[in-house]
Amino acid sequence: MSGAGHTSVLLAEAVEALAIKPDGVYVDGTFGRGGHSRAILAALGSAGRLVAFDRDPRAIEAGRAIGDARLTLVHEPFSELDPALTRLGVEGIDGLLLDLGVSSPQLDEAERGMSFRFDAPLDMRMDTTRGQTVAEWLADASVADITEVLREYGEERFAHAIAKAIAAARTGGVVATTGQLAAIVEKAVRTREPGQHPATRSFQALRIFINQELEELSLVLPAGVDRLNAGGRLVVISFHSLEDRIVKRFMRDQSRPPQLPARLPLRAADLPRPRLRLVNKAVRPGEAEVRANPRARSAVLRIAERVGEAA
């Protein structure tokens, strides 16, 4: 199932992983074009409820077309999950789904400025109603700051050379378009990775940075677990190694007992229980899905279940 211009990755696997109860309350933290949300609604009964978040105003607009009273749309980043659910009168939830990264429409709509395939304004914001564009940030950022962003979020080997080239290009005016940035990076990168445009890592890094994607993820994971009822599922689809590392470590740490001082006189039975239980191994798309949707090739789905007392 997919929304307009977007095919949801690992759709059946993600919805199955939620172990949906007909009368349960679920959160889709990344509505996109509604592929996962529609599948969740199809599995819910008349008393079920779904709250769907998205920063992109176009995603929220697309969601209004669903017209299902069980669906509540929230135009906020998923880091606002806790206060938003409080406003809506939602306490515990039975599942949280996060489909991370950028959606196909965001990449394919030239004016969003997220792809070097089009020459367009250098924007890259997921929420076009607020915040700084990449062009605005690059206009004032230091070489050191640009280098750090490209290294940290893009794992770019030539980060410093690219940052110096961007700073040099600014002497002739603002780096205002995707075409300008791609050309600057292409000249600064000395060797190419096979099958990859030289600007791939830089564009990815700047998008992740300007949208604070990793910080948002680090905020929503503990907030989501706090809201999960006992037996509720946390299901996360990652497309980038940095995202997946955060998810994997969080689930691993939350599935172990809290670390206490070594000499504390406690029996194993008296130790606090872990908050999560890992469910199955990481799931990756099959060959058929990758052939049909090449953007699925890097996807990793991880599942954990809330144990102990409900939040």
Binding residues: 34-36, 54, 78, 99, 106
DSSP 5-72: TEE-TTHHHHHHHTT--TT-EEEES--TTSHHHHHHHHHS-TT-EEEEE-S-HHHHHHHHTT--TTEE
CA angle 127, 129, 135 (to 5 degrees): 75
CA of residue 149 relative to chain centroid, distance: 18
Residue 288, phi then psi, degrees to nearest 5: -65, -40
Tokens 């806790």 correspond to what residue?
A: 82
Q: Are 225 and 232 in contact (CB under 8 A)?
A: no
d(CA 228, CA 310): 7
- Could you give the C-alpha distances from 164 to 141, 169, 170, 190, 231, in angstroms and in order? 11, 9, 10, 14, 51
d(CA 78, CA 42): 23
* Closest CA relative to residue 97, chosen from 212, 7, 12: 12
Binding residues for S-adenosyl-L-methionine are: 34-36, 54, 78, 99, 106
d(CA 156, CA 166): 15
